[in-house]
Amino acid sequence: MMEDNYLKRLWDGTNSPTDHFLELDVATFEKMQRRKANALLRKLIVPKLTGILLGIGWTVFMVMLVYLSLHYSFFSVGQLFFTVSLSIIAIITAIAVALYVKDVVTIWQIDHSASVTNTQQKLVGLQCSIIRSVRIMWLQLPFYTTWYLNADLLLHGSFLFWIVQILLSGASIWLAIWLFHSLRFGELQAGKARGFLKGYGLSSVVQAIDFIGEIERFKEQPAD
């Protein structure tokens, strides 16, 4: 008798029992998808923190070398190549570190976000930030082929030296420009760009976006 009265109250209420079950299913599905997305994103935290620590150490090391060069050596062509190259490397590395810190904060915000829409926006922002940091980091590559140049090498370098130097600098400049141009948000569907960025955690973010997107698609399904 009590069960009959309970079922009657459910049936006579504003929402049918089917609606209650659907609401429960949606909440359960959303919780499950969020857990899967957050598990993927948490895997990025350790590599990001490692990159931050290494980046800070490398930046400090570059700055120290530039400082020592400026204060304890005379001005020369070699000093100019050395200080300019290392300064640019330090600046680019510092920018990449700042973007990594921003990524870690974004991952924390996603983990504590209550809104599906807000989570989707944060994930897209994280995706763009990863692409931006990779593009910027590779711009420093050519300067690893110039920091050691000096007047003696430029004036008296052998033919073999010039061949190797031109090939190294030319290849690094071409690669840096090509990556900066190719690694863009609009080029993610291209196999080469997506495959290259996979090692930087982009695939985890893309999967997380898919998991969260499935929540909206699940909600839009018509009730049987």
On whether the pTM is more than 0.85, the answer is no
**What is the tally of structural domains in the chain?**
1
Residues 6+ away with beta carbon under 8 Å from 152: 78
Residue with tokens 């807000």: 118
DSSP-derived secondary structure for 97-112:
HHHHHHHHHHHHHHHT
* Torsion angle of C-alpha atoms 7, 8, 14, 18, degrees rounded to 10: 40
Within a domain: residue 1?
A: no
Ranges 73-77, 112-116, 162-166, 212-216, most confident:
162-166
pLDDT digits (tens, 9 = 90+) for 185-202: 666 655 666 677 777 888
pLDDT digits (tens, 9 = 90+) for 128-138: 999 999 999 99
What type of residue is 8? K
User: Are the beta carbons of 40 and 208 closer than 8 angstroms?
Assistant: yes
Within a domain: residue 6?
A: no
Within a domain: residue 12?
A: no
Within a domain: residue 9?
A: no
CA gap 56, 64 in Å, rounded: 12
Within a domain: residue 55?
A: yes
Q: Where are the alpha helices (DSSP H) in 13-150?
A: 17-42, 45-72, 77-111, 116-137
Where in the sequence is the domain holding 193, given as residue range(s)? 17-220
- Across the range 113-133, mean pLDDT stands at 85
